[in-house]
Structure 1
Amino acid sequence: MEGDSVSLNSDLTEMKDDDVIQRRFGDKNTLIAEINVTADRITVYDDVLDGRFRDRLKLDNQTGSLTITNTTTEHTGDYERQINGVRKRFGLIVYTRLPVPVIISNSSHCSSSSSSSSSSSSSSCSLVCSSVLNVSDVNLSWYAGISVLSSISVCVLCISLSLPLEVEYQDKNTYSCVLNNPISNQTTHLDINTLCHTCADSVHSCGPTEAEIRLVLSALVGVATVIILVYDIRSRRAERDQAHIHTSGA
């Protein structure tokens, strides 16, 4: 994993007085470190290959093992160990740290379906699990419990991965989205109640525009009610005044 240290052993418990150990890297077998016991010399070549190994190489003067500290993906490749002319090659892959995948709802409304032979209906929720990354050799998968439902893999550098999933709102399964490479993984668990809503919820919910319309209608009804009450009071008062005038005249 990026940032970790790795040791490339020499398979020696102790070096002899005439041992010469060389370490090389890459397709061009670039010399990056050397131990010459006879000359009592230990050398690391920090500036080769654009300095990718600078301040990262440590040689054990007892066994000849090479340790690479604070590794990056630039240290992925083939390494050669040569002891007194005998060669052995190692393959090293350094993986970047994985981001946590994100689950989002892919639709603003649920979809419902019903059959003619049954009065029951079901609502489903469309989801997408995605991850923004700049790595290689990763898998993005949907799980129901411990079973894989779907998966997508890439082995070249990419910007993002996304994987859809359709679930029933009443589904009791435990769903999770997993991003993994051969040595690590990141998991996000699905909370259906948070991301998915039933059709009944959708019917009773309203957006800002509908809420504003309802507020205006309520205000108009209130104003109309006040006008009617004022008109009724004035009409009753006028009737009483008219009756009083007739009584006084009589």
Structure 2
Amino acid sequence: MFVFDDTEKISVTEGDSVSLNSGLPEIKDNDKIEWRFLNTLIAEINKRLDRFTVYEDVLDGRFRDRLKLDNQTGSLTVTHTTTEHEGDYKLQMIKSFSLTVYARLPVPVIISNSSNCSSSSSCSLVCSVVNVSHVTLSWYAGLGVLSSISVCDLSISLSLPLEVEYQDKNTYSCVLNNPISNQTTHLDINTLCHTCADSVHCCGPTEAVIRLVLSALVGVATVIILVYDIRSRRAERDQAHIHTSGA
């Protein structure tokens, strides 16, 4: 009597062969299979190392020239059985795992390379990240990739430029991704790109205040000049009137 994995009972006549089915359609690349008899290792498959081994000399050599191992499924066949081969056969399947831990992704930063006020028809932008590895940095227009750059092992900084027309109505975004996650920053053209056609868009808050102050000073000076001119003319008329009355 053979006891397979404590669940399946198999009977065979002495001298016959018996196959112990692993139940696997195929051994995977990283699988490791062990067959044990009375807790002694008698056969082993390590697919990752491409190693297929039967241990015929264990237990005083009772399995010598009697073990056949299926390299595809891991099933084990015992030939020319005797009462010495009666007992518990256990199949142990050991999976190996390769773990990769990815760093948490930073959020990409988009900055403008153009001046605060540009007279050109396009805006120069740069998307950048720092201290990253095993990532890809990409510019998207809608769902389409415009450009990308990747880094593998080193922890470095990445930058990716983009030229955008001021009147462009597309939706742009900068995406940083690795095999398991991503971070996205959407481009706001109105915030980062300005033309000189409109002074409101051209000037920053400080410059706008200076312009307002200068405008106010010019206005006040103009008023003062007008008042002075009016008074001067009035004084001249009064003086002329006095001379006329005296004569």
> Structure 2-normalised TM-score?
0.53
Match of 1:180 among 172, 177, 182: 177
Q: Could you tell me how far 1:243 is from its partner in structure 2?
A: 2.5
Match of 2:234 among 229, 233, 236: 236
User: Which residue of structure 1 aligns with residue 102 of structure 2?
Assistant: 95
Q: Could you tell me how far 1:238 is from its partner in structure 2?
A: 4.4
Greater CA drift, 225-234 or 181-190: 225-234
Q: Could you tell me how far 1:150 is from its partner in structure 2?
A: 0.5
Please tell me whether the aligned partners of residues 110 and 202 of structure 1 are also in contact (alpha carbons under 8 angstroms). Answer: no
Structure 1 residues 215, 126: closer, same or farther in 2, change over 3 A?
same
AA in 2 matched with 1:98:
L
User: Which residue of structure 1 aligns with residue 124 of structure 2?
Assistant: 126
CA offsets 1:40-99 (integer angstroms, 9 cap, x no match) = xxxxxxxxxxxxxxxxxxxxxxxxxxxxxxxxxxxxxxxxxxx99986532110111111
Unpaired runs of at least 5, structure 1? 1-9, 21-82, 113-122
Give the match's secondary structure for 1:100.
coil
Structure 1 residues 243, 140: closer, same or farther in 2, change over 3 A?
same
Once the two structures are superposed, the pairs formed by residues 101-180 of structure 1 within 5 Å of their partners are: 101-108=108-115, 109-110=117-118, 112=120, 123-133=121-131, 135-180=132-177
| Residues in 1 aligned to 2:164 and 2:151: alpha-carbon distance in whole angstroms | 25
Give the match's secondary structure for 1:200.
coil
Match of 1:192 among 189, 192, 216: 189
Greater CA drift, 217-226 or 172-181: 217-226
Unpaired runs of at least 5, structure 2? 1-30, 42-89
| Residues in 2 aligned to 1:204 and 1:103: alpha-carbon distance in whole angstroms | 19
Once the two structures are superposed, the pairs formed by residues 20-59 of structure 1 within 5 Å of their partners are: none
Structure 1 residues 171, 19: closer, same or farther in 2, change over 3 A?
farther
Q: Could you tell me how far 1:204 is from its partner in structure 2?
A: 7.2
AA in 2 matched with 1:163:
L
Q: Could you tell me how far 1:192 is from its partner in structure 2?
A: 1.6
**What is the total number of aligned residue pairs between the two structures?**
166
> Structure 1-normalised TM-score?
0.52
Structure 1 residues 129, 19: closer, same or farther in 2, change over 3 A?
farther
Larger-gyration structure (1/2): 2
Task: Determine what percentage of the aligned residue pairs are the same residue.
Answer: 60
| Residues in 2 aligned to 1:228 and 1:90: alpha-carbon distance in whole angstroms | 89
Give the match's secondary structure for 2:148.
strand
Q: Could you tell me how far 1:144 is from its partner in structure 2?
A: 1.1
Give the match's secondary structure for 2:197.
helix
